[in-house]
Amino acid sequence: MLTFVKHLHNLIPDIVGFAGLGGLYIQVTKRTTKHYLSELKPNSGSSMRDEVNRQGKEIIRQGERIDGIYEFLLGKAENGN
């Protein structure tokens, strides 16, 4: 019984160390996940989500502009100008 207690006494620092490392890993993972998730929510300009929305609107605007140019050129071709 005494050897078991001595052996357990020697293992306690290892157990506490592993528990501490596990807690640290959980905290870092939690913080990193929270940071990445915050980038996916719109926040008035500086998130990735806002940039994706801006790019989407720009693509739509460019498409409408190209459609207008195409219609203009088609009208010119039909009029013979």
Average pLDDT over the chain, rounded to whole? 87
Q: Is 39 left (phi over 0), alpha (psi -120 to 50) or beta?
A: alpha
State the pLDDT at residue 81. Answer: 62
Domain ranges across the chain: 2-79
Which tens digits make up the pLDDT trace of 2-24? 677 777 788 888 889 999 999 99
For residues 11 and 29, the model is more confident at 29
Which tens digits make up the pLDDT trace of 57-80? 999 999 999 999 999 998 887 876
Mean predicted confidence (pLDDT) in 35-59: 86
Long-range contacts, stretch 50-57, CB < 8 angstroms, 24+ apart = none
Cβ-Cβ contacts under 8 Å for 43 (sequence gap 6 or more): 49, 50
Pure H helices in the chain: 2-39, 48-79
State the pLDDT at residue 11. Answer: 84
State the pLDDT at residue 20. Answer: 94
